[in-house]
Amino acid sequence: MSRVIDPHIHLFNLKEGQYTWLQEGNEPNWPNKATIHRDYIEGDLKLNPPAALEGFVHIEAGFDNDEPWRELAWLEEHCQLPFKSIAYGNIEAETFSEQLEELSKFGSLVGIRFILDQNAANLLSNRIVKQNLSMLADKGLLFEAQLPLSDPLAVDALSSIMAGLPQLKVVINHTGSPDKLSENWMNSIMRLAHHPECFIKCSGWEMFNPDWDTLSIKPMISFAIRQFGLARVMLASNFPVSELSCSYAELWQRYLEEMKWKGFEKDMLVYENAKRIYQFD
């Protein structure tokens, strides 16, 4: 049996949540985005034996950015598998501490995501943002950093923050958004790997290449492992956005069977690292 903790999934409740990014005409402008404009629940996370899903990390999905704790309340009411939550938190806001206080009432909370993307360099140089990330560090909460590692200025800013806050745990989302091996991306990976509390999730391939296969992504995963070390790299799905390329079961079949990891490598990449980093009991 291959045990899996998926460290990057989204569930949708369209009746109660907002999800403005899913609506037609709003970014991101992915082909076939309309096909995932529906409810997704825990029961949709189906793997084929011998793979077994033993837990997941739910990443905020734009349920309600004004009252992000509503998403956690919905998840904690409906989910049965062991799971942890990465909530939305407005790290630009001077009211971030009040938001964090509300979110901290939920037992599944382990961190915050605020999508940086192309504005990463400016945001990570902002005084209020730095103060709020310091608050996260003090509380032992993770910061999920979604940004393009091809942007050297953004990586400079993130690296500077981690140097000044060595206790801040940062998880790079979606392998730093590469579509291929590039000099800037590789330089950024090497630089961020020097920070011992920086981790990386390999996922989101469908956002850059809907026809991805294991041959196209293995070089990027292997490079990340060589730099970060096996214990700081995780394989993840990005479900249900991943379904723009293949089914959930097929994605994990590619990871678990086609990539030919050694037994201990596989266990760390798909289970042990996520269990430790996201503080599963």
Could you list the pLDDT tens digit for every one of the 281 residues in the chain?
A: 899 999 999 999 999 999 999 998 899 988 899 999 999 999 999 999 999 999 999 999 999 999 999 999 999 999 999 999 999 999 999 999 999 999 999 999 999 999 999 999 999 999 999 999 999 999 999 999 999 999 999 999 999 999 999 999 999 999 999 988 899 999 999 999 999 999 999 999 999 999 999 999 999 999 999 999 999 999 999 999 999 999 999 999 999 999 999 989 999 999 999 999 999 98
Q: Does residue 95 contact residue 65 with C-beta atoms inside 8 Å?
A: no
pTM of the complete model: 0.97
- The predicted pLDDT at position 1 comes to 85
CA-CA distance, 81 to 77, in Å (whole number)? Answer: 12
> What is the domain partition of the chain in residue ranges?
2-277
The 3-state DSSP class for residue 8 equals strand
CA-CA distance, 265 to 49, in Å (whole number)? Answer: 19
Long-range contacts of 182-190 (CB under 8 A, 24+ apart): 182/150, 184/149, 184/150, 184/151, 184/152, 185/149, 185/150, 185/220, 186/223, 187/152, 188/149, 188/150, 188/152, 188/155, 189/149, 189/223, 189/224, 189/227, 189/228, 190/227
Pull the structure tokens for residue 211. Answer: 């026809």
Q: Does residue 198 contact residue 170 with C-beta atoms inside 8 Å?
A: yes
Residue 155 CA: distances (Å) to CA of 100, 115, 196: 25, 14, 16
Domain boundaries 2-277, corresponding CATH code: 3.20.20.140
Q: For residue 91, how many other CB atoms are within 10 A of its CB?
A: 24
